Each structure stands twice: as structure tokens, then as C-alpha cells.
């Protein structure tokens, strides 16, 4: 009842503000708005500043010469004791900012003043099982609604103007380990606008899948399980099987085989393809599931009309290190050998930067983007890793006590050469900007059996830094050659996404609290601002009243302080927080 009255009070206060004309109102978001988001400057209506996920803005008022005039305009506190990690990328439409926060909350904020328009707080049950902090990574806009997912595996559609609930749908049973943290994706289809989501919960043996719902009603249109042998559905009826049953999975192990699609996806209109990454196979103990275990640790192209898989590319077959394969697939045009290829790039947790042909999934190249990789000797001409058998955690069934296999030291750690934090691509410099981390881990396998709602790992681990002076590393990578053009080293791990602009800048945040800007060509640091808490979110930029603005959520948390081992000890002094910061370049300073 308390939450109900709080929502009513919020709605009542907002109605008063609107009547006075003092608060911005956002208009409806069309499919054209979504598909053209990468080209427009007055709004940000998609996660990734465009469905392809390049995170590039054509705005260039703020550049390396004018950025010295960039100043904070306002800061909005997320309030209360629910601080923790703030990993949301904000959306901006008609002077209204939509940003989600820890514990499944969302705010609509006046972009000019920082004044709260409305607030929604999900009523979370006891017993939720989030893997890696109580974070949320953002929302989706379409029509007159704003959508986001909650930690108890629900999808919520709210009225964009009021924050009132339009519908609420269950993704799955949170008691079985399902949760949801990603930003949903809106795409066109012959069934109308679709709201496309994945699932979280790979550490509990849930089965990964991608789902498409009607953006208007929330009703399911199709479901695509990502593990071979499982049947998809279309309009409530069985459609096609994923792969071929038992081709790379023995027995019934695929039924609790993981492959969670927890980071969400991207969409390429040119090929009409959804690109989703899939997570680690379950359990972590790879000796219990011999074979490639498709399609875990993979990238999949999916037809938005049918939910059928067009192609798949597996980055870590028979993953034994929790390297996942969920990291975002970014579409771009690759100029190489005098030709232009419709390509896609992805920086994998396993430490290799991959370039694929996005029309058919064919392997183009892979290059290491972190140092001292141990688990593989390299990537073969067919795109498969060349494993080093000595660096796979040992089989506990062959140990003297049957309780613990041989420990190996693996680089990178299971938190990855790059984790969830999104990369960016600049069509101007033709470089990718990758927030990465240099760390390894001691890892060993243990016996494990599946139990619904219980952790399903079969492994132990301790993360260790590779170098004394830094862990985080922002790298500029040439996708044509794999060469690292420049590198910025940061003492603490980098855990936030990047933003690139036509002003020749790259923005990202640090756990130490700084929002920083770098020269996109040289890597020179040209500006920084201390926000008071660690930044583990993705910055955005937009134009407002003829001025360029930058916005970012601030609030230290996420997986590092929970799972980071010796690295977590290094950063335990960092302060938690919860705020959204907005910066502007005043017109009079932009002209100088």
C-alpha cells in the first residue's frame, strides 16, 4: 500500500507541474526516430545512440579546443539508501531525460533544470537472485511508452508522460535464478514494433533465450532458445529447432546449459538482423559437458520477423573460464584490401577482438586486445581458438580426493578482457574504443549438480591484477589490422561505457569518479570532472537550445566489488553514490 500511495503522490505532483507549464513533456517516439537515432542530435532514443550500437554522435560543438568551457549544469540525486552500482545509459526526448537506477527504479527528469518529473520504483520481492549487483542498464522508448526490466524478471511499460504502469509482464520465475538488467531493444517487423529482450541468470543454470513482444501490448510474438535441441515458437506455435539435438551437447545437459542473453542486443536495418550474444555454458566445470556446447559463448544473428537464427559464431567453444559471449555486436563498414565489407565487431571477454561479416557470420579476423593471454595460443584461420590444454582448469574427478581439480592461472580473468561496458566506434577515425581490463585469475573446478535456484558453477577462483600500476585500459583499435593505436591506463578497473563524437572526442568514466574526455586520434586526455562517486555507466550527448550537452550516471558498484578478489581489495575505499550529472557548453564559450 505504501508504494501505491507513493506512486499516486508522484503522479499528482507531476500533474501540477505540467499544469503550470514548468516541466518538459516528451512527444511520442516513432520507428523512424529509432532507426535514425544515430543521425539526429536533439535526442537519444536508443541504447547505443543508434540501433547498431556505435555510440557515435555527429555533434561537434564540443571538441578538444572548446571542451575547456564544458561545465556542470545540474546533478540529480537518485536518493535514499539504494545507491549501489549505477550502470544506466540515459535516453533523451523533447527535453526529458529517462534514466534507470539500482533496485529497478526509473526517473523522468527535466533536461534543462534537473527537476524530477516522475519516479517509478518496482516493488521487488524477497529472494531475488541477481548475479552481479542490483543494477539496471537502461530503458527503451516507443510511441508514448517507456520500457524497462526489473530484477525479479519482469518487463514494465510505463506512460512516458506520467510514469503510470500500462502493462507488466513476467519474463520468467525469479526463484529459479532468472533476473533482468539489460536495456530492451525496439525493432521493426512484419508483426509491428517489437520489444526484444534476453534473460539473465546463467550462473543458476537457466536456459538462454531471446524473446520478442508486441511493443503495444506486451504479448509474446516469438521465442528463440539459444541452446541446440530446443524448439522456438512463433505466434504461440512451435516454429524451428535451434541447431541439431545433441550435436555438441551430450545427453540432457543442454536443458540446464546456461547461455544467458543477459546483455541485450543490437539491430542492423541493412541486413534486417538482430545481433545477440550468449553467455557461459553451465556449469563452469567444462569436464561435465564435453563438446562445443552450442550456442553458448556465441554471437547470433536472428530474423526479427520469425525468430529464426540466420547464423552463429562461437567465440569460446566448450568455455571453461566463464568467458561468456554476450558482449555487444557493433555493425560498421570495414574498408580493407580496397573493398568495403558489411562487418560487425565485438570485443570478447576472452581477450580477443573479433571482426565478422555481418551478412553471413563468416570470420574475418581476431586479435588480442589485452596482454599475456594464457587460455589459448591464438585464434585459427577458421576463427576457432587454439587451446592450450595445460591452461584449462583440471578435472576434479581425476584428482586424488575427487573434490578439486588442478588450479591454473588464466588470463584474462572471468570478468573478462572486456565485460558488459559498451565499446564505441567512430566513422571519422575508423577506430573502435574499447574499455578493457588487465587481470588474471587462479581457477579450479569442483564437482557440482544442478538444483533449481542454486548457484551452478562447479568452480572456484581468485582474481589478481596483472600489473601494479594499472588494471583499466581504454584502447583505440583499428579493426582493419587489429593494431592498438593508443592506450590510456587507469589504476582501477574500467567498468563504464564510451561515447564518441564528431568533435573528435571519446568520453568515458572511471571508478575513481572522473568523467574524462580524450582526443579520439591521439588518446590525449583533454578534460575531466570529478562526480563524487565511481562512474560505471555510459555517457550520452544531445543538443538543447543550440548548445551541446553531456550526461552520465554516477554511482560505484557492479561486479568488481562483489567478485573482484584481490582487485576488489584495491578499490574498497571508493565511495558509493547515485546521481545523474548533466554538463553543457554555453554558446558564448562554444564560439571562442
- For the domain that residue 322 is a member of, what is the CATH number? 2.140.10.10
Among 474, 517, 432, 434, residue whose Cα is nearest residue 62 = 517
At 29 the pLDDT is: 98
Inter-CA distances, 530 with 247, 308, 493, 520, Å? 53, 46, 17, 21
Judged against a pLDDT cut of 60, whether residue 559 lies above it is answered with yes
Secondary element (H or E) of residue 568: helix 565-570
- DSSP string over 268-287: ETTTTEEEEE---BSSS-GG
At 570 the pLDDT is: 86
Give exposure, 291-303, as e/b (b: 16+ Cβ within 10 Å). Answer: bbbbbbbbbbbbb
Secondary element (H or E) of residue 224: strand 220-225
% of the chain beyond a pLDDT of 70: 96
- DSSP string over 119-150: EEE--PPTT---SS-S---B-EEEBTEEEEE-
Inter-CA distances, 457 with 306, 316, 416, Å? 33, 17, 17
φ, ψ at 352 (rounded to 5°): -110, 140
Secondary element (H or E) of residue 241: strand 237-241
Cα(43)–Cα(22) distance, integer angstroms: 20
% of the chain beyond a pLDDT of 90: 85
Q: Average of pLDDT values for 297-326?
A: 98
Q: Across-strand partners of 473? A: 436, 489
Cα(395)–Cα(374) distance, integer angstroms: 18
**What is the DSSP-derived secondary structure letter of residue 341?**
E
- Using only C-alpha atoms, what is the Rg of the chain? 22
Secondary element (H or E) of residue 15: helix 2-20
Judged against a pLDDT cut of 90, whether residue 465 lies above it is answered with yes
Cα(545)–Cα(282) distance, integer angstroms: 51
Q: Average of pLDDT values for 282-305?
A: 97
Judged against a pLDDT cut of 90, whether residue 81 lies above it is answered with no
For cell 531525460, name the residue: 97
Cα(10)–Cα(24) distance, integer angstroms: 16
Residues 6+ apart with CB under 8 A from 567: 439, 463, 464, 465, 471, 493, 560
Provide the domain count of the chain: 1
Residues 6+ apart with CB under 8 A from 192: 214, 215, 216
Residues 6+ apart with CB under 8 A from 172: 153, 178, 199, 201, 206
Judged against a pLDDT cut of 50, whether residue 82 lies above it is answered with yes
Angle at 452 between CA 405 and CA 227, to 5 degrees: 75
Cα(344)–Cα(379) distance, integer angstroms: 17
Among 390, 326, 31, residue whose Cα is nearest residue 192 = 31
Cα(511)–Cα(491) distance, integer angstroms: 9
Bond prior to 235 in cis (omega within 30° of 0): no
Q: Where residue 547 falls among pLDDT bands split at 50, 70, 90? A: very high
Q: For residue 219, count CB atoms less than 10 angstroms from its CB and return exposed for 0-12, middle for 13-18, buried for 19 or more.
A: exposed
SS3 call for 5: helix
C-alpha grid cell for residue 465?
591484477
Residues 6+ apart with CB under 8 A from 444: 393, 394, 396, 404, 405, 406, 407, 408, 459, 460, 461
Inter-CA distances, 548 with 46, 203, 553, Å? 18, 42, 17
Cα(528)–Cα(509) distance, integer angstroms: 9
Q: Where residue 23 falls among pLDDT bands split at 50, 70, 90? A: low
At 587 the pLDDT is: 87
Cα(86)–Cα(68) distance, integer angstroms: 27
Cα(262)–Cα(183) distance, integer angstroms: 10
Q: Average of pLDDT values for 444-472?
A: 93
At 128 the pLDDT is: 87
Judged against a pLDDT cut of 80, whether residue 566 lies above it is answered with yes
SS3 call for 166: strand
Among the ranges given (6-10, 189-193, 201-205, 245-249), the one the predictor scored with the smallest mean pLDDT:
6-10
Secondary element (H or E) of residue 7: helix 2-20
Cα(299)–Cα(261) distance, integer angstroms: 10
Strands 484-490 and 472-477: antiparallel
- Residues taking part in catalysis: 322
Judged against a pLDDT cut of 50, whether residue 445 lies above it is answered with yes
Judged against a pLDDT cut of 60, whether residue 236 lies above it is answered with yes
Cα(279)–Cα(325) distance, integer angstroms: 5
Judged against a pLDDT cut of 60, whether residue 19 lies above it is answered with no
Bond prior to 283 in cis (omega within 30° of 0): yes
Among the ranges given (3-12, 87-96, 287-296, 488-497), the one the predictor scored with the smallest mean pLDDT:
3-12
- Domain limits for position 237: 2-590
Strands 505-509 and 498-501: antiparallel
Q: Average pLDDT over the chain, rounded to whole?
A: 93
SS3 call for 9: helix
Judged against a pLDDT cut of 90, whether residue 492 lies above it is answered with yes
Amino acid at each position: 500500500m505504501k508504494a501505491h500511495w507513493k506512486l499516486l503522490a508522484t503522479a499528482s505532483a507531476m500533474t501540477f507541474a505540467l499544469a503550470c507549464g514548468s516541466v518538459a513533456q516528451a512527444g511520442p517516439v516513432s520507428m523512424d526516430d529509432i532507426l535514425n537515432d544515430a543521425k539526429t542530435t536533439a535526442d537519444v532514443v536508443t541504447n547505443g545512440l543508434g540501433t547498431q550500437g556505435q555510440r557515435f554522435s555527429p555533434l561537434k560543438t564540443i571538441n578538444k579546443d572548446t571542451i575547456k568551457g564544458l561545465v556542470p549544469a545540474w546533478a540529480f540525486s537518485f536518493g535514499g539508501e539504494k545507491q549501489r552500482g549505477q550502470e544506466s545509459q540515459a535516453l533523451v526526448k523533447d527535453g526529458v531525460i529517462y534514466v534507470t537506477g539500482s533496485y529497478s527504479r526509473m526517473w523522468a527528469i527535466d533536461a534543462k533544470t534537473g527537476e524530477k518529473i516522475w519516479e517509478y520504483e518496482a516493488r521487488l520481492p524477497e529472494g531475488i537472485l541477481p548475479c552481479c549487483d542490483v543494477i539496471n542498464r537502461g530503458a527503451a522508448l516507443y510511441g508514448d511508452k517507456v520500457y524497462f526490466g526489473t530484477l525479479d524478471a519482469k518487463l514494465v511499460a510505463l506512460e512516458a508522460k506520467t510514469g503510470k504502469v500500462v502493462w507488466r509482464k513476467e519474463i520468467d520465475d525469479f526463484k529459479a535464478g532468472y533476473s533482468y538488467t539489460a536495456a530492451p531493444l525496439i525493432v521493426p517487423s512484419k508483426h509491428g514494433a517489437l520489444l526484444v529482450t534476453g534473460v539473465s541468470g546463467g550462473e543458476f543454470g537457466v536456459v538462454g533465450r531471446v524473446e520478442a513482444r508486441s511493443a503495444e501490448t506486451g504479448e509474446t510474438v516469438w521465442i528463440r532458445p539459444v541452446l541446440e535441441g530446443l524448439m522456438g515458437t512463433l505466434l504461440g506455435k512451435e516454429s524451428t529447432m535451434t541447431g541439431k539435438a545433441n550435436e555438441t551437447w551430450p545427453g540432457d545437459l543442454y536443458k540446464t546449459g546456461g547461455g544467458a542473453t543477459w546483455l541485450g542486443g543490437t539491430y542492423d536495418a541493412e541486413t534486417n538482423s538482430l545481433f545477440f550474444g550468449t553467455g557461459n555454458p553451465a556449469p563452469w566445470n567444462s569436464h561435465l559437458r564435453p563438446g562445443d556446447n552450442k550456442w553458448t559463448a556465441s554471437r547470433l544473428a536472428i530474423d526479427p520477423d520469425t525468430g529464426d537464427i540466420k547464423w552463429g559464431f562461437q567465440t569460446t567453444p566448450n568455455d571453461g573460464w566463464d568467458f561468456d559471449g554476450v558482449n555487444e555486436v557493433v555493425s560498421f563498414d570495414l574498408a580493407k584490401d580496397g573493398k568495403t565489407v558489411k562487418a560487425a565487431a565485438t570485443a570478447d571477454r576472452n581477450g580477443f577482438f573479433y571482426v565478422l561479416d555481418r551478412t553471413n557470420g563468416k570470420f574475418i579476423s581476431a586479435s588480442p586486445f589485452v596482454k599475456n593471454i594464457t587460455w589459448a595460443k591464438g585464434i585459427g584461420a577458421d576463427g576457432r581458438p587454439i587451446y592450450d590444454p595445460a591452461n584449462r582448469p583440471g578435472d576434479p574427478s581425476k584428482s586424488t580426493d575427487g573434490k578439486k581439480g588442478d588450479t591454473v592461472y588464466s588470463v584474462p580473468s572471468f570478468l573478462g578482457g572486456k565485460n558488459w561496458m559498451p565499446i564505441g566506434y567512430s566513422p571519422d577515425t575508423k577506430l573502435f574504443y574499447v574499455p578493457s581490463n588487465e587481470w588474471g585469475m587462479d581457477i579450479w573446478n569442483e564437482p557440482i549438480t544442478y538444483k533449481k535456484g542454486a548457484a551452478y558453477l562447479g568452480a572456484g577462483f581468485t582474481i589478481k591484477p596483472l600489473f601494479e600500476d594499472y588494471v583499466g585500459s581504454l584502447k583505440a583499435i583499428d579493426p582493419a589490422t587489429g593494431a592498438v593505436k593508443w592506450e590510456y591506463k587507469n589504476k582501477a578497473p574500467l567498468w563504464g561505457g564510451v561515447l564518441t563524437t564528431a568533435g573528435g572526442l571519446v568520453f568515458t568514466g572511471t571508478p575513481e569518479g572522473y568523467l574524462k574526455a580524450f582526443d579520439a586520434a591521439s588518446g590525449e586526455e583533454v578534460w575531466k570532472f570529478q562526480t563524487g562517486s565511481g562512474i560505471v555507466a555510459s555517457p550520452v550527448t544531445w543538443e538543447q537550445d543550440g548548445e551541446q550537452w553531456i550526461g552520465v550516471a554516477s554511482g560505484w558498484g557492479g561486479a568488481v566489488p562483489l567478485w573482484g578478489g584481490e582487485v576488489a581489495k584495491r578499490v574498497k575505499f571508493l565511495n558509493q553514490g547515485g546521481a545523474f550529472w548533466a554538463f553543457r557548453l554555453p554558446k558564448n564559450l562554444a564560439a571562442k
